[in-house]
Chain A
Amino acid sequence: MKEAAPAGCAIADRVDQIIQKHAGRPGALMPMLHDVQAALGWIPEEAMDKIAEALDIPAGKVYSTVTFYTLFSTRPTGKYIIRVCESAPCHVEGAAAVMAELERQLGVKPGETTSDGRFTLEYTSCIGICGVAPAIMVGDQVHGNLKPDMIAGVLAQYE
């Protein structure tokens, strides 16, 4: 789960801190992006500009990198991102039903965020927890061996 979202100048300061932390490191771009994503729940334009400036690379290169990866978001996300695995080992164990129940309970489709800003629902490829398929991740937490009737209980754990 990410930190409580800072705003305005606080975003700039947080990003500056992150840039400082990784400055001078070879291959600093990915660690910087990870930290911004973790701190803010997404990677705003402003952060990408600062990172581009700090690394002396074009902003286009930063944006091109960010949009390549599933775990990076260029839009604000909910407090918790729910990732539902749809790869074969989860698919054959009933992932579709789990997703359907999540859609029903949250009232959103994959790619969307609930109106209260609590959850963003996403599909994901295999998260490497196939021994307890079907599995999902809510933030950093994994939930496995899921059946539709367990979903309400899982969601209730997250305010």
Chain B
Amino acid sequence: MEFVRAHVLVCHGTNCSLKGPAAIVRAFGDQLREHGLEGEVRVVETGCFGLCEQGPTVVIYPEGTLYTRVKPEDVAEIVTSHLLKGRPVERLMYREPVPQQPVQAFPEAQHFRKQTRVVLRNCGVIDPDSIEEYIARGGYAQLGKALTQMKPEEVVAVVRDSGLRGRGGAGFPTGLKWGFAAKAKGDTKYVVCNADEGEPGTFKDRLILEGDPHAVLEAMAICGYAIGSHMGYIYIRGEYTQSIERLGHAIEAARNIGLLGSNILGTGFDFDVEIRMGAGAYVCGEETALFESLEGGRGEPRLKPPYPTDAGLFGQPTVINNVETLANIPPILEHGAEWYRGLGTAKTPGTKVFTLCGDVVNRGLIEVPMGMTLREVLYDIGGGIPGGRTFKLAQTGGTSGGCIVDAQLDVPMDYDNLAAVGTALGSGALLIMDDTHCIVDIAKSFAKFFLHESCGKCAPCREGTKRLYDIVDGFSKGTGKMEDFALLERLARVMYKAPFCALGQTAPLPVMTTLQHFREEYEAHVRDKTCPAGVCSALVSDKKGA
């Protein structure tokens, strides 16, 4: 076994990939060779570390020094100063946003101290292309335990008792779902991983799959065992090239050593996984639309009942779970339901991976216990609003979620509490917006999303998303009328209840919550034909011309 005295982890999550970590890895390779260190120091390409805004990130172990915004030109100094002489390069070290102090070891950084990385336990730590590293950290042991020491019902019981709820957005109790599928009649059952992550503001599934693909594979196999399925599909959006590649390698690696395929671990249990790609349609994240797409057709949702656990993919009993939901399974089996219930809130145990985007210093990926407030996430972990600007609003749960303002920043974030203030936890996307933005302009981008993504099957959504957009667009162009507000409210009330699926049902929510909190600003656009934030070009130029 090779003994190395230091590890250099270079983040290769897609966000960091943009800045060419390959060059950094090459530079390290060259520099280590030049100084004769290549036998003692190992360079690892890992998954997402979470500090996407400040990439490329490099972590040096054993100290845990976190370097940010590393360029290939910096590598020489890191090697000579840090690795040879033991002196960290202060100018590159991650700094706490307030005060601007460099952090010696990254777990001490506020950003990480406040996190509880269960789902992200391996991201940024292991080389995701190495099944050995996954196994070395306990990977596939839970599959082994399930297959050799537990009955399928017992597996279902642990998941049920843990209180884990679906992390795709709907929050349905996972154990309940697995239980229904286990009891359903059918010789052929399926496990589907929903990796169609289309909710704007959400990129956690992409990075979980890039950083720790085996966790999802292991979880799918465990689910297969629990419900009596031998075939799993990962439906992943076609745009996620890196994740697809990583998954492909992972599946092959697992098959090669017998952890997927026939007779896993000699137990006689067969389970295999195939990747299927989406082709650019947000609606395919809806479970029955996903089945329609996978089976070969337009991604238009189906009637429920029957529910997927009775008749899902190819009409067979199916468990369909989100990536993050699945990534929770191995730790739950390892540490037990009670441990999991100890995290988070009573109604929503566990952690949540949030994706911070918009006007926030530390844009990226974090994982905290359910129940943490947005104020804490935004300021303590997120580093607050850049440029010293003022917080205006945050959209939680993606574009299908509602907006909250300062007064709601102390709401503990879980499914029920956020629903109670008129928004949704949803996928865990947190879009932060400061006071330079125009609320009508933002609402228009929300409405435009649904207009493009409506599948067109049902009338209230097909026509309603168009008219919703038309009305808000009218506001931004100065052609809105005061009567339009009542019309909007009527349209929203109907769209909350009448459309065929959740896409249509949630479409008005973001717009209506912004209207609720920023009525004055909307009315200025309509009554006064002005855009207070100076953004809506039709109204700004009008003013100028006057």
Binding site for B on A (CB under 8 A): 26-31, 33-34, 55, 61, 64-65, 68-72, 83, 86-89, 91-93, 124-133, 137, 140, 142-145
Contact = CB atoms under 8 A, between A and B. Distances in A.
Given A31-B277, A61-B297, A65-B296, 7 more contacts: A69-B280, A72-B280, A89-B431, A125-B282, A125-B452, A126-B198, A129-B203
Contact of B295 (A27, A71, A89, A92): A27
Contact of A29 (B297, B358, B399): B297
A131 B442 CA distance: 18
A87 B298 contact: no
B273 to A, nearest CB: 14
B431 A70 contact: no
Nearest to B295: A27
Contacts of B229: none
B36 to A, nearest CB: 35
B239 A127 contact: yes
B399 A30 contact: no
Contacts of B314: 26-27
Contacts of B363: 130-133
Interface residues of B, number: 59
Contact of B281 (A34, A70, A126): A70
B12 interface: no
Nearest to A146: B18
A31 B276 contact: yes
A135 B437 CA distance: 19
B359 interface: yes
Interface string B329-346: 000000000000000000
Given A69-B281, A91-B445, A145-B18, A27 B200 contact: no
A125 B276 CA distance: 20
B202 A34 contact: no
Nearest to B52: A131
Given A68-B298, A92-B437, A27 B276 contact: yes
B365 interface: yes
27 contacts: A27-B276, A33-B279, A61-B297, A68-B298, A68-B455, A69-B278, A69-B281, A70-B279, A70-B281, A72-B280, A83-B239, A87-B200, A87-B201, A88-B431, A89-B358, A92-B442, A92-B445, A125-B280, A128-B239, A129-B14, A130-B431, A131-B355, A131-B364, A132-B15, A132-B55, A133-B357, A140-B241
Most buried by B among A31, A34, A70, A92: A92
B280 A142 contact: no
